[in-house]
Amino acid sequence: MENISKIVLSLNGGKRIGYVLDIAIDFDALEKVGYYVVDEESESVFLLKDADIVEKKFDYVVIDNEQTLEFCVVLPKSLIGRQVVSQNGQDFGRVKSLKFYRKKLSKIVTDKCEVLARFVKCFGEDFVLLGFGRKVLRNKRQSFKNFVVEGTQSVVIMEKEKQALVKPEKICLSTEFYVGKVCVEDVFGYNNERIVSRGEKISKSIVEKAKQHNCINQLFFSLQREK
């Protein structure tokens, strides 16, 4: 997605703050409020609101002052890489990016199709659940192409409750943080290119490739957690 993994610079003192980890979304209003930023020194996660961004083109996201960043006590799990399924058990692929119209979430782009945001029933802990309504599902003449770009395959699912917030974990931009750790799920980049497979140990080349594909946040959330 746009601006993910970009370095955040502060004009006040010319400081390098960290990097953009993920998009911050108000799930109740389905609106983009800003970005989650990782501080490279403290390894803390902060919320950067859109209103506090001076510029976000080219290679950097520029802010006026680091004091505008808000510390995040809790951090939602990223939507990127999350499976998208419908209430009747259809697989719509994994989330690759999100599209917004005037900050309002308009579409969810997966590796299979594009889904209108108004058909999202809930953002679950492990997947995004779609609900098309009985009238839509029973109308055999009305194709799913009215709502998505491509067809899907059938899967069996169980409905989950609305996404719960989790405490932020330490996140580090350094390559050494990731090297040697094991992925518990596949991570995909642009054009559905597989960056790392489930069960594979992460190397320096994998980390660099993830940065090039702007999926370093997917890589972080796919790491095996220490018990």
Summarised one tens digit per residue, pLDDT across range 131-176 is 876 544 333 333 334 444 333 333 222 233 333 444 444 444 577 7
Classify domain 83-154 at the CATH class level: mainly beta
Summarised one tens digit per residue, pLDDT across range 67-113 is 899 988 777 778 888 899 998 888 999 888 888 888 899 999 998 88
What is the bridge-based pairing of β-strands 120-123 and 127-130? antiparallel
Classify domain 175-221 at the CATH class level: alpha beta
Give the residue carrying structure tokens 């192409």.
145
Rounded-to-integer distance, Cα 122 and Cα 81, Å: 16
What is the bridge-based pairing of β-strands 7-10 and 60-63? parallel
- Identify the H or E element spanning 104: strand 104-110
Task: Supply the mean pLDDT for the chain.
Answer: 76
- Helix, coil or strand: residue 1: coil
Q: Which of 25, 18, 69 is nearest to 47 (CA)?
A: 69
Give the residue carrying structure tokens 């697989």.
91
Half-sphere exposure of 113 (CA within 13 A, CB side): 20
Fold equal for 83-154 and 175-221? no
pLDDT of residue 84: 93
- The residue ranges of every structural domain in the chain are 7-71, 83-154, 175-221
For domain 7-71, the question of CATH label 2.60.40.10 is answered with no
Give the residue carrying structure tokens 């299979």.
112
> Contact 132/119 with Cβ under 8 angstroms?
yes
> Contact 74/168 with Cβ under 8 angstroms?
yes
- Helix, coil or strand: residue 65: coil
Rounded-to-integer distance, Cα 100 and Cα 117, Å: 10
| pTM above threshold 0.85 | no
